Amino acid sequence: MKHLELLHEGKSKQIYACDKPNCIVVRFKDDATAFYNIKRAKIENKGEMNCSISSMVLDYLNRNGVATHFVERLGSNDQLCRKVETIALEVIVRNVIAGSMAKRLGLEEGIVPENTIFDICLHSELLGDPLINDHHAVALGIATYEELATIYELSAKINSLLVALYKQAGITLVDFKIEFGRDADGRITLVDELTPDTCRLWDTATGERLDKDRFRRDLGRVRETYEEVAKRLSNVLNK
C-alpha cells in the first residue's frame, strides 16, 4: 500500500491519502496529550499498542453488525480505513461515573447508575469540545434528529458489545468516547479509534486503572498498561 500525502495530523494520529480508492491510512503515534495539550509526552510503543487494540476492537464490531471505517491493519502502526464524511460530534457513553461527570456534578468516581448515560460534545478543539445537546447539534447543522437517534442506538449497541468483550478480559468498561461519519450512502458509520486513550478501563478484580488516566494522573506504568490491555484482548479474541 502506497502512502501519499499527509492529509491531517492530530494529537495521537496522522491521516494519509493512499492509492486505494475511497480509503485512507490511519497511523497511530506514540504522542500522548491530556487537558488539551497542557500535558504532553511520548509513550514508547503506545502507537503500536493502540493500533493493535483499535484494530481488534473495530474488527470485532464489524463482525457483530456495527458498520465501522476499519478495513484492515496494514502494519505495526497503520490501519487501512474507509474514507467517510465526519460528523463533528464526540459521543461519550458512561456505565460508571468517573472523570468530568464526577467532577461537574460533585459525585464520587465509581458510582454505578441504573441507566447508561450518553453525552454529546461538539468536536472543536478550539472550544475544548463543549458538552451540547441534541437541539444544539440540530441547530448547528451537525446532524438531524433522525441521525442523532441512529447515533444513540448505535452507541448503545457498541456499548453492549464492548462491555461483553472487556468482561471476558477481566476489565470493567467505565466510559468511552466515539465518533461517527456518513458513508457515501449516508449510512452512519463508526470512525476514529477505540483504545485506552479514549476509554476508561478498570481491572474488575483490583480496580486498577488500565487506561490513559495513568498518564493524566501520573499513576505510572503507562506503557506496560497499554501492553497489558492489548495482551488481554488478544487472548480473548484469538481463543
Residues in touch with ligand TMP (CB under 6 A):
92, 98-101, 129, 175-177, 198-200
Q: 74 vs 165, which CB is nearer to ligand TMP?
A: 165
Single-letter amino acid code for the residue at 160: S
CB atoms within 10 A of CB 85: 11
Q: 78 vs 90, which CB is nearer to ligand TMP?
A: 90
Q: 162 vs 199, which CB is nearer to ligand TMP?
A: 199
Q: 124 vs 144, which CB is nearer to ligand TMP?
A: 124
Q: 48 vs 211, which CB is nearer to ligand TMP?
A: 211
Rounded to a whole number of angstroms, the minimum distance from the CB of residue 184 to ligand TMP is 27
Where are the alpha helices (H) located in 108-194, listed in sequence order?
A: 134-139, 145-168
Rounded to a whole number of angstroms, the minimum distance from the CB of residue 176 to ligand TMP is 5
CB atoms within 10 A of CB 187: 11
What the block records as the C-alpha cell of 87 is 460528523
What the block records as the C-alpha cell of 125 is 478543539
Give the nearest residue (CB) to ligand TMP: 99
Single-letter amino acid code for the residue at 129: D
Query: What is the rounded radius of gyration, in angstroms, for the C-alpha atoms of the chain?
Result: 17
State the burial class of residue 71 (Cβ atoms within 10 Å of its Cβ: 0-12, 13-18, 19+): middle
What the block records as the C-alpha cell of 110 is 465509581
Rounded to a whole number of angstroms, the minimum distance from the CB of residue 114 to ligand TMP is 19
Rounded to a whole number of angstroms, the minimum distance from the CB of residue 197 to ligand TMP is 6
Mention every residue, 6+ apart, whose C-beta is less than 8 A from residue 193. Answer: 12, 13, 26, 28, 50, 54
The residues facing 177 across adjacent strands are: 92
Rounded to a whole number of angstroms, the minimum distance from the CB of residue 179 to ligand TMP is 9
Q: 147 vs 175, which CB is nearer to ligand TMP?
A: 175
Rounded to a whole number of angstroms, the minimum distance from the CB of residue 48 to ligand TMP is 19
Backbone angles phi, psi at 104, to 5 degrees: -60, -35
